[in-house]
Chain A
Amino acid sequence: MAPNWFKYASPASFYPLAGRLVPWFGAAAALLTVLGLYLGFFVAPTDYKQGEAYRIIFIHVPAAWMSMFIYLVMAFYAGLGLVFNTRLSAFMARSLAPTGALFTFIALWTGALWGKPMWGAWWVWDARLTSELILLFLYLGYMSLQAAIEDPRRAARASGLLALIGAVNVPIIYFSVQWWNTLHQGASISMSQGSTMAATMLTAMLVMTLAFWMYTIAVVLTRVRCEILERERHSEWVAEIAAREAR
């Protein structure tokens, strides 16, 4: 059995499919968040070293993971869009960026709020926070380039190429920041260091990551649907949808 995936690469057939999927992903995100928070706050034990403050981990680490995953997924779709010239992948890449930037910001914010009680400073130039900061700059550059180009085709292709350049550079940047950090601070301070992580902590973290994924998919699919409507606004099928929804 080979479902015809290419059928869904056409915006006209992807639009209703995405519409059907969004509520499911939204509900899954809500349920997993409730479960993850329950595990994180009521089941996971207090950390013997960091006290209750460590509970920030349940959003900090998932947000940091998501920020990197989303960049890679974005670059993947950007590459697909460049190679196969499919408009849907370009929409996907474009729609992923704001959510990726949001998670990067959340990772930085929660990192600062965790750093203050643990290290006594809001901001430490630790390898992980610094890489997140540079990742945020990469997202901002991508979105600014996207916004600066008026022609949608050029915007999609140029920013797609930029996403690919960024994706190639992310490991190099990460490695160089790691290197810089170890040279300047001796041993690098890591957030989970010193506390052996209880199994329930890990479970809660994974559940929260899954919840963030579901959230991302729901939001991004909705954004893709908006993109499709905007770009295809002169087509017959959009006219039908508009007439139906406006009623």
Chain B
Amino acid sequence: MSLAEFFDMGGYAFYVWGSYLVTAVLMLIEVVGVIRRRRTLLDRLGRIHGAAQGAGRSGR
């Protein structure tokens, strides 16, 4: 089986790759979203608590 044949999927390339591509993109978006949510959260918390610690006692 040649590479071109493989990508052609017996004429169903649009449907097969359309399914797999959209699935992959959506999952990637979810993963990136979750990681970014975590990063921004940690940055924000770091600023709040870092400022509190700089002022003296740790922030509550």
Contacts and interface: CB of A to CB of B under 8 A. Distances in A.
Interface in B42-60: 42-43, 45-50, 52-53, 58-60
Interface string A96-115: 00110010011001100110
B2 to A, nearest CB: 14
A157 interface: no
Question: Interface size for chain B: under 10, 10 to 19, 20 to 34, or 35 or more residues?
Answer: 20 to 34
Interface in A228-247: 229-230, 233-234, 236, 238-243, 245-246
Interface in A190-247: 215, 219, 222-223, 225-226, 229-230, 233-234, 236, 238-243, 245-246
Nearest to B39: A245
Contact of A114 (B9, B19, B46): B19
Contacts of A63: 23
Nearest to A41: B6
Given A99-B30, A236-B58, A239-B49, A226 B9 contact: no
A102 to B, nearest CB: 6
Given A60-B19, A102-B30, A226-B37, A242 B10 contact: no
Interface stretch (A50-58, A67-75, A145-153, A175-183): A50-58
A130 interface: no
B42 A114 contact: no
B22 interface: yes
A246 B27 contact: no
Question: By DSSP majority rule, is chain B's interface helix, strand, loop, or mixed?
Answer: helix
A222 B53 contact: no
Given A226-B34, A243-B46, A55 B27 contact: no
**Which of A110, A242, A246 has most B Cβ within 10 Å?**
A242
B15 A242 contact: no
Most buried by B among A105, A113, A116, A240: A113
Contact of A51 (B11, B18, B19, B22): B11
17 contacts: A51-B10, A52-B9, A52-B12, A52-B16, A56-B15, A59-B19, A59-B20, A63-B23, A98-B30, A105-B26, A106-B26, A110-B22, A113-B18, A230-B41, A238-B45, A239-B45, A243-B49
